[in-house]
Amino acid sequence: MTGTHDQSAQNLRRLYAARFDGRDRYRNAVWQELARYFSRWFPRDGTILDFGAGYCEFINNADVATRYAMDLNPSARERAADGVTVLSQDGADPWPLQAGSLDAVFSSNFLEHLPDKAVLRKVLAQAHACLEPGGRFIALGPNIRYTGGAYWDFFDHYIPLTDLSLAEATSEGFDVETCIPRFLPYTMSNGRQYPIWVLRLYLRMPVVRRLVGKQFLVVASRRA
């Protein structure tokens, strides 16, 4: 099992490098803005976990007291900022955190990479166990309703999700607070690098998001 785990981790490293290297500065600037936007859903003195943290762009920029990143990719540990605790494990396995210890679990463009819906249910169960009552599960990801066949252009996409299917998946143990079908454009892994002020303006204009957004945003709070 150890060899399989190590091989999977190295495959992730190579895949991320091929897809994202060379855009680090731009992606970090984008995530500074996005982390500021998402901060409305967790307290600054709280504790959050970035599930499927990748290069840790969100968690490194999150303005919160206690930060965790979970990812099998070895690059997550290398790129995590000071003060970020990296948990290198499969997210379907029990999380090494106390019950009710998290104020938020954040996940961006990762749930679709899980192997199947049974694993997604296990992840949601772990998040539910570690979130305090009222704590939030915040998920951003490609909405197959709007991406169409382009969803499968990424070899490691397995679960086709929409805003409504994820909202339904969280219905057990969570109450959906926010469900936005079209939130962000599809991907930052290729294409134009727009000035950051464009993103800042975009986030303030729901009408524009409804025209070009292809990623959903779902925010669900843990029931007591």
Measure CA 36 to chain center: 15
pLDDT tier, 3 (very low <50, low <70, confident <90, very high otherwise)? very low
Domains of the chain by residue range? 2-222
Question: Which value, in Å, is the radius of gyration of the alpha carbons in the chain?
Answer: 16
Strand extents, DSSP E, the chain: 47-51, 66-70, 84-87, 102-108, 131-142, 174-184, 215-222
Kindly list the distances between the CA atom of residue 122 and the CA atoms of 13, 35, 68, in Å, as whole numbers in the listed order: 24, 26, 19
Can you give the pLDDT at residue 15? 55
User: Mean pLDDT in the chain?
Assistant: 90
Say whether pLDDT at 7 is over 90: no
Separation of alpha carbons 91 and 28, rounded Å:
24
CATH topology of domain 2-222: Rossmann fold (3.40.50)
